[in-house]
Amino acid sequence: MSEIMNTTVTIGQAVGVLELILSVLICFFGYKMMKQLMAFCGFLLGFAVGYYVLYTYGGGLPAYVPFLAGVILGVVLAVLAMKLYKLGVFLYAGFLAASVVYNLSYPPGPVWHYLSLAMTLAAFILAGWLAVKFARTVLVLITGIGGAWQAVDALYGLWPALGGFGLSLLVFRLVLAALGLTYQFITGK
């Protein structure tokens, strides 16, 4: 049993390191990596929807069917996101903004749960719409701020002792976001 626990912790740490690296890359190079990120987010969204729908409403389907449906829908949305630039921009910006709003701390209780889901959906739609309307500026802002936010969350996941610093985490997020935004606006086309 302890081997399973150790393996789980090791995998969790590896995922945390990958999340940290990807988040920092998004913070500083998000606009330049746009096509790849759009495809990735399209795949994640397609997979989540395909898997959830068949897992929840599929009745007695074998376990691999929702997974396979998620992969197929994910690939379709990834290709569409790359081919249809505006759809990709909408999905990418919406996904990143929604992930930031979803990871905010909310008080416990069912009302806050549903309110947080509504705010996450609203962030997805609003950020996606704004990103399509004002593509470069909004995408740089979303990738700089979203990447910094996720990077600090990933760092906190790897090093929980950071939680004792409270306000310092917000300052660290803001400084990292400012650095990422500055770099992207200076080097962007």
Is position 85 within any domain?
A: no
Q: What is the total count of domains within the chain?
A: 1
Residue pLDDT, tens place only, 59-107: 788 888 989 999 999 999 998 888 887 887 888 888 888 888 887 777 8
pTM of the model: 0.63
Residue pLDDT, tens place only, 152-167: 988 888 887 666 666 6
Is position 101 within any domain?
A: no
Is position 135 within any domain?
A: yes
Show contacts of 22-26: CB within 8 Å, 24+ apart.
23/147, 23/148, 23/150, 23/151, 23/153, 23/154, 24/147, 24/151, 25/147, 26/96, 26/143, 26/146, 26/147, 26/150
Is position 115 within any domain?
A: no
Is position 88 within any domain?
A: no
Is position 36 within any domain?
A: no
Is position 84 within any domain?
A: no
pLDDT of residue 108: 85
Is position 144 within any domain?
A: yes
Domain hosting residue 161, numbered range: 2-30+122-187
